[in-house]
Amino acid sequence: MPRLFFALWPDDETRNQIDNVARQFKVQNIKPVKKSNLHITLEFLGEVSDQDRDQLVEKINKLQLEPFDIELTKTGWWRKPQILWFGTTHTPKALLKLVKSIKKCVKKQGLKTDKREYTPHVTIARKVKEVVIPNKALHIPWQVNSFVLVVSNTNENGAEYQVLKEWFLEG
């Protein structure tokens, strides 16, 4: 069964900005996230049957949410999963509403949701054993007009993400 997740998928300009700043980190033995895979996860679903996916899509189709802006303003590192990331110091209420709405649909479909507190972030590198985070200000604006359902395919080159469906936020 395919592994699925909902995400914010940056436009080309935002994706380029994230990638350009991420490449400034000079850390040895890390695994940088491919530029084409950069995103903010909204809800990770894991393995989902085609039937559950189709029924979940029908539920998500009924959501009516507004676009919003997010600004990536901080860099962080999580020691245990060894992840280097860009995040925000202020999480927009519209983003939290989007995540809550998606979780509600996922639960209604009978699928499991992530119980951890939601922390929006873009993973920029994996297998980061230690890092010195520069005091340099991070400022990457991101106008969010849609969200997507993504399938994660693993091959010899690692994970390849493919957008299955996009929903536009209209306000």
DSSP output for 118-134 = P--EEEEEES-------
d(CA 56, CA 77): 33
Q: For residue range 43-78, what is the model confidence (pLDDT) as tens digits?
A: 999 999 999 999 999 999 999 999 999 999 999 999
Specify whether the CB–CB gap between 162 and 9 falls below 8 A: no
Domains, the chain, with CATH or none: 3-168 (3.90.1140.10)
Say what the pLDDT of residue 62 is. Answer: 95
DSSP labels for 25-50?
---TT-EEPPGGG--EEEEEEEE--H
Identify the weakest region by mean pLDDT among 4-8, 60-64, 91-95, 134-138.
134-138
Specify whether the CB–CB gap between 87 and 120 falls below 8 A: yes
110 φψ region: left (φ > 0), alpha (ψ -120 to 50), beta (else): left
Retrieve residue 71's tokens.
Answer: 């600004």
As a whole-number percent, the residues of the chain with pLDDT over 70 amount to 96
Q: For residue range 69-121, what is the model confidence (pLDDT) as tens digits?
A: 999 999 999 989 999 999 999 999 999 999 999 999 999 999 999 888 999 99
**What distance separates the 2 farthest-apart alpha carbons in the chain?**
48
Say what the pLDDT of residue 114 is. Answer: 87
Report the chain's mean pLDDT, rounded to a whole number. Answer: 92
For residue 126, the cross-strand partners are 31
- Residue with the bigger pLDDT between 155 and 72: it is 72
Say what the pLDDT of residue 157 is. Answer: 77
Say what the pLDDT of residue 171 is. Answer: 67
**Quick one: the chain helix, strand, coil %, rounded to 5?**
25, 35, 40
Say what the pLDDT of residue 100 is. Answer: 97
